[in-house]
Amino acid sequence: MKRVGLIASVLAGLHLLVLLAGFAAPYDPVEQTRTLPFAPPSRLHFVDKDGAFHLRPFVYALTTDPDNFDAYIEDTTLPFPVQLMVAGSTYSVLPGVESRLHLFGVETPARISLLGTDGFGRDVFSRLLHGGRISIGAGLLATLCALLVGLGFGTLAGFFGGRVDSAVMRLADLFMAVPWLYLLFAVRAALPLHLDTRATFLLLVAVLGIVGWARPARLIRGIVLSARERTYVTAARGFGAEAPYLLRRHILPQTLGVVLTQAGLLVPQYILAEVTLSFLGLGVGEPTPSWGAMLGTLQQYSVLTSYWWMFTPAVALVAVAIAYYALTSMVHERMRLVAS
Amino acid sequence: MRLIGSILLVALLSGLSASAAVPTPVAPGEDVLVERATSGSHGGRLVVALRAEPRTLNPAAAADAPSREVIGRMTGDLIHIDRATQATESALASQWKRSADGREYTLALRKGIRFSDGHAFDADDVVFTFRVLLDERTGAPQRDLLIVGGQPIRVAKVDEYTVKVTLSQPYAAAERLFDSIAILPQHLLNDAYEKGAMGQIWSVATPAKSIAGLGPYRLKEYVAGQRLVLERNPYYWKTDSAKRRLPYIDELVFLFTGNEDAQVIRFQSGDSDVLNRASADNFAVLARDQAANRFQLKDLGPSLEYNFLFFNQNDLSGKNLPQVAAKQQWFGDLGFRRAVSRAIDREGIARLVYRGRAVPLWGNVSPGNRLWINASLPRLARSVSEARGLLKASGFSWRQDGQLLDRQGRPVAFTIVTSSTSAQRTEMATLIQADLKELGMDVQVVPLEFRALVDRVFQSFDYDASILGLGGGDADPNGEMNVWLSSGSNHLWRLGQQTPATSWEAEIDRLMETQLVTLDSRERKRLYDRVQTIVAEQLPFIFLAAPHILVGARADLGNFQPSVLDHYTLWNVERMFFRPELRSQRR
Amino acid sequence: MTLIVRRIASSVVLLFAVSVLSFTVLELAPGDFFAEMQADARIGSQTVDGLRAQYGLTQSPIVRYWQWVRSFVRGDLGFSLAHRAPVSSVIWARAANTLLLTIPAMVVTWCLALPLGIWIARHRNRWIDRVSSGVTSTLVAMPDLLVALLLLLLALRTGLFPTGGMWSPGAEELGYWARLLDLGRHAFLPLLALIATTLPSVVRHVRASVIEAAEAPAVQAARGYGIARSRITSRYVLPLAANPLVSLAGLSIATLLSTSLLIEVVMSWPGLGPLLVEALLAKDVHVVLSASMLASALLVFGNLAADLTLYAVDPRIRV
């Protein structure tokens, strides 16, 4: 019980952080610093070059090594202490409400890149937080679509049985057979270019979710089938209850468990699907960050072998996924214990 | 760094002798080409990793790069362009004469030469080759190269070892026409040609006996999905200075990898011996490993390729594209294009996309083309303020939040499409997107699958702007006719014109057609300089950068002389050899 | 019997529907195979148009689809524009290479997952369960592309394994055992990647279904009777747990040709994966259609086998 609460609050905390990305991130995620491509994470110092200890950590400004593209040298002449609640780039808290307050930062010309920079000199930590919005949002949207359609078809198949059931199941087979991810290429290419890339991406995510109805539908159909045969349902039918009443009162509540556990499993799966979409070039366009787009740069061999900080979106991904799975299995356990 | 297993494997392999094809001694009547400056030792196997599988071994059907890479090692041409000097040299034609009016070339062929299957080579093969290539039914990609002045060239047999080539008009670079036009064996292909099956013959799975050519290597075996092996041509018509028949290396193995990164990985791990054209990022990774792994890396300077941003200025009257048509009001404005060009950070592109291994470009000829570049073209530095001034002069204005508005008050927003397979061009687009944001333009970057991109640019015209790259063929401007002639099929910004739409395009037409028939090279240079100046002024293409050619090979490979012309590394494969004194250091 | 006939009939309809869908979506995307040639400045557009006409690409989509269907039912899988050869000469060898990877992977996965899952279920909620849950969650959450890339990196850094391909150059000259060893070394990393991506979820499913089966009243009753634990597991728990597992196994068979796609592409394994990806990008229509048909046929077979096994094994299901 306590552990469920713990996991749930960790998950909630992650989501909150991502939601407050504008505040928590020190920089604008699309701001390029062309003099600092692929800079390693800033080193926080407590002891300066004279040996004096400072309570407040500080960073040094970076200068480029003239002979090497991505070798940087710290300029130890001037320390830049880390400050809290600084004024930085503008971001919108709510539609129409803007703010310039950031959780932490340093004065220019130094930069504090907790997770380094990417190939255009953009701060990876800021992009990680802002990118979480897109990635987790994509996961939630796709899951919603998949579950809605799956619930609809599954209930249909399970409740009416017979011909309807086999028709729906054959349709489900069809949807599982077609390699949708790769055919999304073609869908993207056929879409007009004048749509906003964000809108196009949302469309693709929704499509991905909708075509993923088959598996949840199968599971829901199973539940509905067995629920339909329960004695109290047959009794209710015997009393003259109509289908909508049966569904609402007796059958659909039975599916709640499956729907919830499916949701818990599908959200990370669809976040992963966003990663794959971005790998294949179908993600949200530049310069908007998303975890998939950030991991997509790892497909280049040089990035894979040289810049370890570009892996951090994978860590975030795994952390979110583990939290969801843990929560799901705990809820599942609880519900089984309650049911038996 | 290698395990026992692989040491055993290598021991097993090196213990085996070379394969069956041994060079035959030079026959007395054979008119061989003696490479005077060449000496080396025979033996060894060279492994090259290809980015994709070759599609065909038919020289008359190959349009993709991997097929051409393999076919180029199996075939010979009449007159060859030496990649090191960029000048023509004799190949299968030992000498040639040009008539006074420049329309006729008489080529004397080498006598006593044989194909890789032992069959004799003579003028009949040459005449057959050109008949096949010029036949429309064959659909050969080389056909358009052989059309001069609207007429295909005519090749006729004079006697057993002499042919006469007739052009409809004098053509300055006529000798260069013959480079890489593979001579086909009539005795093997005549039947297929008569039956009209030339397009389907000689796929990669063809048995080795059915294929013959005049190149340094011939087909040994093909394993689907994995590799293609060539063995030495025992009848090859070149020898080294000591009259020993070339090539030195016994076998050439082409491995198929999926993409450039896989290609680099194979090279780094020692699976392959030659790296043909790496990207700057991968080159940097290899450079770090260089000392430990004993390979030689070379940066050859700027290539002939040029990357550019261009806007859709096509005539859209027959198409239903109202949004694009509305934006063409901006695209057609020279001030707009000049402003975009001034705002682009070319230095940033060279540094961030290519790690400094590229040169910024303001014209269509890269500095890698030393003979033809117009060195006096102005190189305008990046200036956002100048760009803003140009926009203001063209009637644009800015909104409160910085968004650029046109004369009618519409926000300036457009899309740049790039190929999703080209990471560099997409990165350039991202940089340009940020640059143009400073001018208040709202630019979106849409990577599209390559074929979809080509369809939009060439057929449907449903795009706003795009970033592409051209060049990389021959240094001679005649290779670019299709781009600069207003009726050309690669005149990307305005395709399908019957007559030139602007006066400067008409002038370019005139200049290009004049230089085509001028035989004096200085005069041609003057004309082409003028073309470059006009292009740099009118900016149908906004030029961005020319990447360097970056190659690598194992350290003990001798005579490795890469060049900026295709084929960058293997063009002199017959002269390459393994230096025995360095061989023990490998692996 | 009639059931099987009906299922087969509906499977044929399914395959037909898959081919129509694949073809439609391919056609939706602008561009065709020869678009690449059009972008080459040295080739004129007339030549390209001539080639298009020669290979029948100028006909209407319906005509082209119908021609393919007609040749397909006769056993001719079509003509590959990229390889300039019949599709069958290209596709079977590649499919065999893929199966060479996926069948051992599936066997190993299930042989490991079953005992592992049962064991973990037995020690439920102890630290073993917790640790394995964490490990499997992590592996399931990682994109398989990333797993494959990391393994490739490992190969490169240590030099222990080849970085791609199926054979070393010159392998044809080796003896039988040496060739087998060579094949094994090349297949090791793709196999590892495949197993790493499929094992965790199978283990989780086994664990979940075993736990669920162990709660069943019949099992509790048997425990109450004092029957030995091993007997309970084999006679009571496993048959009950078999239901979802058989479906899962059927799905494993069904996806034999598709799970390894990304891994094959990353590790340059010459299977169906790279062929399909290249054909999709090149719009080599017949190859894409044939490959999807092959994968779908296997899917149908896998599902059918699973369903039939289910009817035989699970006592609760009535046909």
Q: What is the pLDDT of residue A79?
A: 85
Return the pLDDT at A179. Answer: 64
Q: With CB atoms and an 8 Å threshold, state whether C215 touches A305.
A: no
Q: What is the pLDDT of residue C318?
A: 57
Q: What is the mean pLDDT of residues C275-290?
A: 82
For residue B327, name the pLDDT band (cuts at 50, 70, 90).
very high
Q: Across the interface, do B285 and A37 touch by the CB < 8 Å criterion?
A: no
**Nearest C-alpha in C relative to B133:** C47
Longest dimension (CA), chain B: 86
How far is B457 from B463, CA to CA, in rounded Å?
A: 7
Local structure of residue B318 (DSSP, 8 states): T
| C-alpha distance from C62 to closest chain A C-alpha (Å) | 18
What percent of chain C lies above the pLDDT cut of 70?
96
The answer, for C253 touching chain A at a CB cutoff of 8 Å, is no
Residue C122: CB atoms within 10 Å: 16
Q: Does residue B156 contact residue B164 with C-beta atoms inside 8 Å?
A: yes
pLDDT at residue C214 is higher than 70 = yes
Locate B419 and state its tokens.
């190929």
Q: What pLDDT, in 10s, does the model give residues B347-378?
A: 999 999 999 999 999 999 999 888 899 989 99
Distance of residue B152 Cα from the nearest chain C Cα, in angstroms: 13
* Chain B contact set for A189 (CB, 8 A): 448-449, 452
Instruction: Identify which has the larger pLDDT, B129 or B29.
Output: B129
The answer to whether C29 faces chain A, any CB pair under 8 Å, is yes
- Candidates B176, B451, B457, B459, partner chain C, best to mutate (most C CBs within 10 A): B451
* pLDDT category of residue B320 using cuts at 50, 70 and 90: confident
Q: For chain B, list the contacting chains (3+ Cβ pairs, <8 Å).
A: A, C
The pLDDT tens digits of the residues spanning B239-282 come to 888 888 888 999 999 988 877 888 888 888 888 899 988 999 89
More confident residue, C253 or B195: B195
CB A223 within 8 A of CB A155: no
B352 to chain A: which residues are within 8 Å by CB? 34, 37, 119-121
Tens digit of pLDDT for each residue in C36-93?
Answer: 787 777 777 778 888 888 888 888 888 889 888 888 888 888 888 877 778 888 888 8
Weakest-pLDDT range from A22-36, A250-264, B93-107: A250-264
**What tens digit of pLDDT does each residue of A177-189 get?**
766 765 676 666 6
Q: How confident is the model at residue B585 (pLDDT cuts 50, 70, 90)?
A: very low
Task: Verify whether the Cβ–Cβ distance C138 to A276 is below 8 Å.
Answer: no
Output A255 or B113, whichever has higher pLDDT.
B113
Mean of the per-residue pLDDT values of chain C: 81
Identify the pLDDT of residue A125.
94
> In which band, very low, low, confident or very high, does the pLDDT at B433 lie, cut at 50, 70 and 90?
very high
Q: Does pLDDT of B199 surpass 50?
A: yes
Q: Do A32 and B431 touch (CB under 8 A)?
A: yes
Cis bond before residue B216 (omega within 30° of 0): no
Judge whether residue B586 has pLDDT over 60: no
**Is B52's Cβ below 8 Å from some Cβ in A?**
no
Q: All domains of chain A, ordered by start, with CATH?
A: 42-112 (no CATH), 128-339 (1.10.3720.10)
Yes or no, beta carbons of B351 and A34 under 8 Å apart: yes
pLDDT tens-digit map of A112-144: 899 999 999 999 999 999 999 888 988 999 999
pLDDT computed for residue B6 by the predictor? 38
C137 close to A (CB below 8 A): yes
Whether pLDDT at B233 is above 60 = yes
Chain B positions in Cβ-Cβ contact with residue C287 (cut-off 8 Å):
none
d(CA A131, CA A217): 31
Q: What is the mean pLDDT of residues C149-175?
A: 75
List of chain C residues whose C-beta atoms are within 8 Å of the C-beta of residue B452: 29-31
User: Any idea what DSSP says for residue A123?
Assistant: B
Task: Tell me if chain C has a CB within 8 Å of the CB of B45.
Answer: yes
Beta-carbon separation of A194 and B345 below 8 A: no
User: For residue B108, what pLDDT is reported?
Assistant: 93
CA distances from residue A309 to A181, A277, C5 in whole angstroms, order as listed? 28, 22, 57
Whether residue B414 is predicted with pLDDT greater than 70 in this model: the reply is yes
Average pLDDT, whole number, for chain B? 87
Residue B106's pLDDT band, with cuts at 50, 70 and 90, is: very high
Q: Give the whole-angstrom CA distance, residue B426 versus residue B432.
A: 10
Task: Measure in Å the smallest separation between the Cα of B10 and chain C Cα atoms.
Answer: 10
Of the pLDDT bands very low, low, confident and very high (cuts 50, 70, 90), residue B307 is very high
Question: Which residues in chain C are contacts of A272 at CB distance < 8 A?
Answer: 141, 143
**Cα separation, A25 vs A9, whole angstroms:** 21
Lowest mean pLDDT among A167-176, B392-401, B456-465, B565-574: A167-176
Q: How far is it, in rounded angstroms, from Cα C164 to Cα B271?
A: 9
If contacts are CB pairs under 8 Å, which of residues 187-246 in chain A contact chain C? 187, 189-190
Read off the pLDDT of each residue in B305-315 and give the average, rounded to a whole number: 94
> For B230-243, what is the mean pLDDT?
89
**CB-nearest partner of B139 from C31, C54, C278:** C54
| A contact test, residue of C10, C135, C146 with most A CBs within 10 A | C146
Please judge whether C42 and B140 are an interchain contact, meaning their C-beta atoms are less than 8 angstroms apart: no
Q: Give the per-residue pLDDT at A183.
A: 65
CA atoms within 13 A on the CB side of C155: 28
Residue C259, pLDDT above cutoff 90? no
Residue A297 has what pLDDT? 86
pLDDT digits (tens, 9 = 90+) for A299-340: 788 888 889 999 999 888 888 888 888 888 777 777 777 665
The confidence score (pLDDT) of residue B88 equals 87
Mean pLDDT of C180-199: 87
Distance CA A110, CA A76 (A): 11
Size of interface A-C (CB pairs under 8 A): 98
At C171 the pLDDT is 66
Looking at residue B587, its pLDDT comes to 41
Separation CA A42–CA A53 (nearest Å): 18
A285, A195 Cβ separation under 8 angstroms: no
Q: Which residues of C touch A275 (CB under 8 A)?
A: 143, 145
| Pairwise pLDDT comparison (B513 vs A336), residue with the higher score | B513
pLDDT at B583: 59
pLDDT of residue C156: 74
Nearest C-alpha in A relative to B453 = A189
At A46 the pLDDT is 87
pLDDT reported for residue A340: 54
* CB-based contacts of A105, cutoff 8 Å, min separation 6: A26, A27, A82, A83, A86, A88, A112
CB contact under 8 A, A34 and B345: yes
CA atoms within 13 A on the CB side of A205: 29
Q: Which residues in B lie closer than 8 A to residue A119 (C-beta atoms)?
A: 352, 427
The residue among B358 and C7 whose pLDDT is bigger is B358
Name the C residues in 160-219 with CB < 8 Å from any A CB.
212, 215
- Across the interface, of C51, C155, C174, the residue whose CB is closest to B12 is C174
Return mean pLDDT, chain A.
83
pLDDT band for position B15 (cuts 50, 70, 90)? very low
Q: Is C97 close to B225, i.e. CB distance below 8 A?
A: yes
User: What is the reported pLDDT for C67?
Assistant: 87
